[in-house]
């Protein structure tokens, strides 16, 4: 599989000429959805879900479809009958040659006074896990963790402990759109070999938008 980092929390995964896109939100380049066979959305926040962008992708590619939770599906399903699928924790499905499992139920706590919304994560081909806006630990090993490295709802110590618990081979930064260039070496050091012990030997990878890695 070829994994390409797009802006903020979005990634493109390509295999055998098919394309799966996860979380093309408002902080993501418009071309992130170009040619997508399947689009997965973890939750309704604008940095993960841009309704206009998904509508444009579905209109441009008649075979494309969306898999997401109910709060997002309800905004799209009427306009695209049969092409918007509602899924939740424990579900599994196959699309465009990819096998996908759904893990998680709730968004991370932003503040005790802010109501929590639903959030799901996706394991793709038993290998890559995108948790959305939560530090969900899937009940299976994963090789590559797409790691929300910075968010209003997290702190660095939680990210370190998350990698320790999931124990991937590769921890790749996502959810980094609010970081300035000054933050990059700080996070890189703390999540790399010079950081706290016990990361399980996970390699830390930071891709700039548009860069790719073969998994």
Residue 191 confidence (pLDDT): 87
Name 123's bridge partners. Answer: 101, 129
**Count of residues in the chain:** 215
How far is it, in rounded angstroms, from Cα 68 to Cα 181?
Answer: 32
Residue 167 confidence (pLDDT): 96
Residue 197 confidence (pLDDT): 82
Name 65's bridge partners. Answer: 38
What DSSP assignment string belongs to the chain?
A: -EEEE-STT-EEEEETTEEEEE---TTS-GGGGTT-SEEEE--SSTTT--HHHHHHHHHH-TT-EEEE-HHHHHHHTTTSTTSEEE--TT-EEEETTEEEEEE--BPPPS-TTSPP-B--EEEETTTEEE--SS----SS--SEEEEE---TT--HHHHHHHHHHH--SEEEEES-TT--TTHHHHHHHHTSTTS-S-STTPEEE---TT-EEE-
Domain coordinates in residue numbering, the chain: 2-210
The mean per-residue pLDDT over the stretch 107-126 comes to: 97
Q: Percentage of residues in the chain with pLDDT exceeding 90?
A: 89
The mean per-residue pLDDT over the stretch 175-195 comes to: 89
How far is it, in rounded angstroms, from Cα 51 to Cα 13?
Answer: 21
Q: Residue 198 above 80 pLDDT?
A: no
Structure tokens given for 29:
């380049």
Residue 78 confidence (pLDDT): 96
Element (H, E) at 3: strand 2-5
* pTM (global) more than 0.75: yes
Structure tokens given for 42:
């973890």
Pairing mode, strands 18-22 and 11-15: antiparallel
Q: Residue 194 above 90 pLDDT?
A: no
The mean per-residue pLDDT over the stretch 51-70 comes to: 95
Fold held by 2-210: Metallo-beta-lactamase; Chain A (3.60.15)
pLDDT band at 152 (very low <50, low <70, confident <90, very high): very high
Q: Residue 50 above 80 pLDDT?
A: yes
Structure tokens given for 100:
């996908």
First to last CA, the chain: 5
């Amino acid at each position: 599989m070829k994994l390409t980092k797009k802006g903020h929390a979005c990634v493109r995964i390509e295999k055998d000429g098919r394309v799966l896109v996860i979380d093309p939100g408002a902080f993501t380049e418009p071309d992130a959805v170009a040619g997508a066979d399947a689009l997965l959305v973890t939750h309704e926040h604008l940095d993960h879900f841009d309704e206009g962008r998904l509508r444009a992708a579905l209109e441009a590619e008649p075979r494309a479809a969306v898999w997401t939770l109910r709060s997002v599906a309800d905004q799209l399903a009427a306009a695209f009958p049969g092409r918007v699928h509602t899924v939740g924790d424990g579900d599994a499905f196959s699309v465009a040659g990819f096998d996908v499992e759904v893990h998680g139920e709730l968004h991370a706590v932003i503040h005790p006074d802010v109501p929590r919304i639903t959030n799901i994560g996706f394991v793709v081909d038993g290998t890559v896990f995108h948790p959305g806006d939560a530090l969900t630990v899937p009940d299976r090993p994963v090789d590559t963790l797409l790691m929300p490295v910075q968010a209003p709802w997290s702190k660095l110590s939680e990210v370190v402990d998350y990698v320790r618990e999931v124990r991937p081979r590769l921890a790749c930064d996502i959810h980094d759109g609010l970081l300035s260039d000054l933050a990059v070496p700080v996070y890189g050091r703390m999540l790399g070999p010079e950081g706290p012990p016990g990361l399980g030997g996970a390699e830390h990878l930071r891709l700039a938008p548009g860069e790719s890695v073969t998994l």
